[in-house]
Amino acid sequence: MGTFAYIARDEAGQKVTGKLSGGSEQAVLAELQSRQLAPVKVEAVREQVRFQRGVSSRQLAQAYRQLADLLRAGVPLLRALRLLGRSKANPRLAGVMSKVADEVADGTRLADAMKEHRDVFPPIQIAMITAGERGGFLEPVLNRMGTFLEHQADMRGKIIGSLIYPAALLAVGTGIIVFALLFFVPQFEDFYGQIELPWPTAVLMASSQMLTNAWLAVLITVAVLIALGWWALKQPAVSRQLAIWQLRVPKLGPLVRNLAVGRFTRILGTLLENGIPMLSAMQISRDAAGHVLLAEAIDEATEAVRAGEPLAQPLAASGLFSDDVVEMISVGESANNLPVVLVTIAETIEKRVDRMLSIVMRLIEPVLLLGLAGIVMFIFIALIVPMMRMSAAM
């Protein structure tokens, strides 16, 4: 796909200029003729790379619902895409929809056109669109995708909302401590310079001097440590070991496990509801699981399903799925309504996650407050103890 600038004449002979996206110059010429425009000049335009606002899950959900409503009302797919391409709410999404419409106008299937914009449309959505097109039920698929994306956005919003206060508390506390070390503690250096200091005061003074005199080295060291940590997290062995340790942490481990399992069951159930074959749905769910150990369990379950075995047994062997979830999956397989059961499991787990998240946040907030209060108290005691000793000596 490219962008072409054109000069044309309308039916009244008036000059018309603009830009169109198309796979080739011939495609653009055909589009102009379909608009009753006589092309005078068409030339390719080199697009400049610039910052563009991203597309959120809620915006995509709204677009899918609008597209489903238009199709239900009898609007042809190409015209519906053109209408979404004129939206002013999100210029980037509108631009992408316009490009998708241009490709559909050239005879490309909707799913294939969306594949050219994987930064906006992830594989799970493309797979569902593909199934909807092939099965002739595109409008219900679009509706379900809207619901699915709204659920994802709601869950993400709850998690981020719960982390805002602890993050703000940590940032403010860290700022206060750094301010004290940079501007308050140095005022005592001359006063304590000629006496023997207890170890808390010596540690405090050394920390203040290091931060004051070698702040650039401290920043570089912190940046290097962050870069090394980021690199280490990208290593499969390290990420796997961290995932194991993460699940062993009280309260946090069950929360992380339930989040991953809930995401997996919702994605798998939604894909199966929309006609995606089991093995393909398992692969897409595996890529979207977001947890190393769960991805390994899904790989084993996929091989078992490929060999004709039921899904519940290998999932149970992983230890990540609780007994009640495994039992529900087993019943769903036996009753041949696994997609509905998986979505029901996801809804149950999400309610459980809400409760667990509330408990974890209630624990994190006092722990942060106590930790910051402890550091402030350490600074206070480290500065006061030498004074008390001097007063006692006098």
Per-residue pLDDT of 179-199, as tens digits, reads 888 888 888 877 776 677 788
Q: Please report whether residue 241 resides in a domain.
A: yes
Q: What is the three-state SS of 318-358?
A: CCCCCHHHHHHHHHHHHHCCHHHHHHHHHHHHHHHHHHHHH
Is the CB of residue 315 less than 8 Å from the CB of residue 267?
no
Helices (H) and strands (E) in the chain, counts: 16, 3
Global pTM reads 0.65
In whole angstroms, give the CA distance from residue 98 to residue 104: 10
Q: What is the per-residue burial (b if ≥16 Cβ within 10 Å, else e) of 223-261?
A: eeeeeeeeeeeeeeeeeeeebeebbeeeeeebbbbbbbb
Q: What is the per-residue burial (b if ≥16 Cβ within 10 Å, else e) of 12-39?
A: eeeeeeeebbbbeeebbbebbeeeebeb
Q: Please report whether residue 362 resides in a domain.
A: yes
Q: Which of 104, 130, 150 is the last residue of a domain?
A: 150
Mean pLDDT check: name the lowest of 5-14, 235-244, 309-318. Answer: 5-14
Round the CA-based radius of gyration of the chain to a whole number and report it.
30
Q: How many domains does the chain have?
A: 3
Q: Are residues 119 and 259 in the same domain?
A: no
pLDDT band with cut points at 50, 70 and 90 for residue 46: low
CATH number at residue 72: 1.20.81.30
Is the CB of residue 91 less than 8 Å from the CB of residue 114?
no
Q: Which of 92, 125, 150 is the last residue of a domain?
A: 150
- Residues 155-169, mean pLDDT to the nearest whole number: 83
- pLDDT score of 393: 64
Per-residue pLDDT at 359 exceeds 60: yes
Of residues 378, 388, 393, the one with CA closest to residue 185: 378
In whole angstroms, give the CA distance from residue 197 to residue 13: 92
- pLDDT score of 237: 83
Q: Are residues 268 and 182 in the same domain?
A: yes
Is the CB of residue 55 less than 8 Å from the CB of residue 89?
no
Q: Are residues 179 and 311 in the same domain?
A: yes
Q: Please report whether residue 28 resides in a domain.
A: yes
- pLDDT score of 92: 83
Q: Are residues 122 and 10 in the same domain?
A: no
Q: What range does the domain containing 275 cover?
A: 151-394
Is the CB of residue 61 less than 8 Å from the CB of residue 153?
yes
Is the CB of residue 71 less than 8 Å from the CB of residue 166?
no
pLDDT band with cut points at 50, 70 and 90 for residue 394: low
Name beta bridge partners: 43.
Answer: 5
Q: Are residues 62 and 24 in the same domain?
A: no
Is the CB of residue 354 less than 8 Å from the CB of residue 167?
no
Q: Are residues 351 and 263 in the same domain?
A: yes
Q: Please report whether residue 51 resides in a domain.
A: no
Per-residue pLDDT at 212 exceeds 50: yes
Q: For 68-127, how does the pLDDT look when each residue is reduced to its tens digit (9 = 90+)?
A: 899 888 888 889 888 888 877 778 888 888 888 888 888 888 888 888 888 888 877 888
Provide the angle, in degrees to the nearest 10, between the axes of the packed helices 138-179 and 57-72. 160
pLDDT band with cut points at 50, 70 and 90 for residue 23: low
Q: Please report whether residue 87 resides in a domain.
A: yes
Of residues 106, 105, 108, 84, the one with CA closest to residue 94: 84
Q: For 281-338, how does the pLDDT look when each residue is reduced to its tens digit (9 = 90+)?
A: 888 888 777 788 888 888 888 888 888 888 888 888 888 888 888 899 888 888 888 8
**How much is the mean pLDDT over the chain?**
82
Share of the chain above pLDDT 90, in %: 2
Q: Please report whether residue 50 resides in a domain.
A: no
Is the CB of residue 276 less than 8 Å from the CB of residue 284?
yes
| Angle formed at CA 56 by CA 53 and CA 57, multiple of 5 degrees | 165
In whole angstroms, give the CA distance from residue 73 to residue 75: 6
- pLDDT score of 2: 61
Q: Are residues 104 and 146 in the same domain?
A: yes
User: Which residues 6+ apart lie within 8 Å of 329 measured at CB?
Assistant: 311, 312, 315, 321, 338, 341, 342, 345
Q: Are residues 165 and 285 in the same domain?
A: yes
Q: Are residues 135 and 210 in the same domain?
A: no
Is the CB of residue 40 less than 8 Å from the CB of residue 76?
no
Q: Which of 121, 150, 179 is the last residue of a domain?
A: 150
Q: Are residues 215 and 331 in the same domain?
A: yes
Q: Are residues 257 and 355 in the same domain?
A: yes
- pLDDT score of 224: 93
- pLDDT score of 22: 66
- Residues 221-225, mean pLDDT to the nearest whole number: 91
Q: Are residues 318 and 210 in the same domain?
A: yes
